[in-house]
Amino acid sequence: MLLGLRTVIYPAPDLAAARSWWAAALGVEPYFDEPFYVGFNVAGYELGLDPDGDPAVGPATYWGVRDVDAAVEHFVAAGAVVRAAVQEVGGGIRVATVVEPSGASVGLIENPVFVLPEELPGAGEGPGR
């Protein structure tokens, strides 16, 4: 069912400051930069900044799935509750969020354009590698 982690979206109430900090920290400019969302490609994965996100709630993590409708149905049958229904966010990308029985949010993302990179230049370098 789950294909692997795909996206982490950080709350960024001061989007300009967060954008600048992440660009400096990552050493790359965002590939998507709008007032409602900033997206960086980090080794093929999405690091997003959401100006409407709540820092008290923390980042949102999304697991890749082939069919988000089927994934939501599967998790609900296993005891989860829908927090955010399936919605299109652009480019054929569809997301939803469920809450598992202990209260943790589980983000699900169907992204038809995501391709897991075989090996990106520099993928073995940097912090945490």
| pTM of this prediction exceeds 0.85 | no
| Ranges of CATH 3.30.720.120 domains, the chain | 1-56
| Residue 63: its H or E element | strand 60-64
What are the beta bridge partners of residue 64? 4, 109
CATH class of the 65-113 domain in this structure: alpha beta
What percentage of residues in the chain have a pLDDT greater than 90?
Answer: 81
**DSSP secondary structure letter of residue 68:** H
Fold of 1-56: 3.30.720
CA-to-CA distance for 24 and 55, rounded, in angstroms?
A: 21
Mean of pLDDT over the chain: 91
